[in-house]
Amino acid sequence: MTPTNSAEQALDEALALVSRTPEGGATGGAGGGGAGGHRASGWQRARDTAAHAGSRVRPRTHRVPLADALGEVLATPLDALTDLPSFDTSAMDGWAVAGPGPWSVRAGGGVLAGSERPEPLTDGEAVRIATGARIPADATAVIRSEHCREAGTQLFADRPVLTGQDIRPRGQECRSGDLLLPAGSLVTPAVLGLAAAAGYDELTTRPRPRVEILVLGDELLTEGLPHEGLVRDALIPMLGPWIDRLGAEVTGTRRLGDDPAGAAALLEAVRTSTADVLVTTGGTASGPVDHVHPVLREAGAELLVDGVAVRPGHPMLLARIGSRAADENGENGENTVRHVVGLPGNPLAAVSGLLTLAEPLLRALAGRRRRPRYTAPVQGDVPGHPYDTRLVPVLLSDEHAVPLRYHGPAMLRGVAAADALAVVPPKGARSGQELEILDLPWASGGCFT
Q: Is 306 helix (H, G, I), strand (E, B) or coil?
A: strand
CA 97, CA 389: separation in Å to the nearest integer?
69
Angle in degrees, CA 42, 234, 359, rounded to 5: 35
3-class secondary structure for 207-237? CCCEEEEEEECCCEECCCCCECCEEECCHHH
Count other Cβ atoms within 10 Å, centred on residue 150.
12
**What was the pLDDT predicted at 302?**
94
Q: What mean pLDDT, rounded, does the chain reach?
A: 84
Q: Is 11 exposed, middle or buried (0-12, 13-18, 19+ CB in 10 A)?
A: exposed
Beta bridge partners of 311: 390
**What was the pLDDT predicted at 444?**
57
Helix (H) or strand (E) holding 254: strand 249-256
Q: Mean pLDDT throughout 214-230?
A: 68
Contact 96, 136 (CB under 8 A): yes
Lowest mean pLDDT among 72-86, 264-278, 326-340: 326-340
Tell me which residue of 344, 338, 402, 353 sits closest to 242, measured CA to CA: 353
Tell me which residue of 6, 21, 10, 54 sits closest to 314, measured CA to CA: 21
**What was the pLDDT predicted at 215?**
86
**What was the pLDDT predicted at 116?**
85
Count other Cβ atoms within 10 Å, centred on residue 339.
28
Q: Is 242 helix (H, G, I), strand (E, B) or coil?
A: helix
**What was the pLDDT predicted at 358?**
96
Count other Cβ atoms within 10 Å, centred on residue 396.
16
Helices (H), 258-391: 260-272, 292-298, 324-329, 347-353, 359-365
Tell me which residue of 147, 101, 151 sits closest to 126, measured CA to CA: 101
Q: Is 19 exposed, middle or buried (0-12, 13-18, 19+ CB in 10 A)?
A: buried
Helices (H), 33-121: 43-55
Angle in degrees, CA 299, 244, 42, rounded to 5: 55
- pLDDT tens across 9-49, in order? 444 444 343 333 333 333 333 333 333 344 789 999 999 99
- pLDDT tens across 117-146, in order? 899 999 999 999 999 999 999 999 999 999
Q: Mean pLDDT throughout 400-420?
A: 85
Contact 29, 23 (CB under 8 A): no
Helices (H), 66-207: 189-197
Tell me which residue of 355, 338, 346, 294 sits closest to 315, measured CA to CA: 346
